Amino acid sequence: MDKGFDTEGNFQGSTHNEWVQVVTLDKHPEIQKLTELSLLKIDAEGFDLNVLKGATNIINQYKPVIFIEAHPHKSEAILNYLNQLDYQCFWFISDRYQPNNYFNQEKTISGLDYNLACFHRTKTSTLPIETLAKPEMDLSQVPRLTYQN
């Protein structure tokens, strides 16, 4: 199993493995009660495509913005799947360390966080598409986003 972010940083404390029951979003009883869904954020440490496939019905029904962690060298299947659902995606890249982080911690990690911001094609007419970082772009040329307080 992919340990995800745990393998990248210098995190203190002990860790343990735990088996959990998995339920798709389409079958989750609380999700079925929704009357609207504007944003779906996915960060499933390598299982992001599985989450998408388990949420196909709610994605088709509500057409939310999907913000999903996606490493450039592993994003093709995610992009293809979202394209089949009529979504257009754009890179959202930021430095992993942010000076104004929540705990005001010193820099212990470096690198970049890669996410895709994906919009159903019926909802992209107001986006400045020409200024957004498309999946086929050279990612070294994409500006890094910095969070502001």
What ranges do the domains of the chain cover?
36-98+109-149
d(CA 71, CA 135) in angstroms, rounded, equals 11
Side by side, which strands form the sheet with 65-69? 39-42, 65-69, 112-120, 87-95
Res 11 pLDDT > 90:
no
User: Does pTM top 0.85 for this prediction?
Assistant: no
Question: Measuring CA to CA, which residue among 81, 115, 68 is closest to residue 96?
Answer: 115
Residue 46, CB half-sphere, CA atoms under 13 Å: how many? 6
d(CA 114, CA 75) in angstroms, rounded, equals 10
Torsion 73-77-83-88 (CA) sign: negative
> How many residues in total does the chain contain?
149
Q: What is the DSSP pairing of strand 87-95 with strand 65-69? A: unpaired
Cα 80 from chain centre: 15
Task: Tell me whether residue 27 is exposed, middle or buried, using C-beta atoms within 10 angstroms of its C-beta: 0 to 12, 13 to 18, 19 or more.
Answer: exposed
Which residues are 40's β-sheet partners? 66
Secondary element (H or E) of residue 84: helix 76-84
| Least confident range of 8-12, 104-108, 137-141 | 8-12
Res 66 pLDDT > 50:
yes
Q: 3-class SS at 61?
A: helix
Res 57 pLDDT > 90:
yes
Q: What is the DSSP pairing of strand 65-69 with strand 39-42? A: parallel
Task: Tell me the mean pLDDT in the region 91-106.
Answer: 68
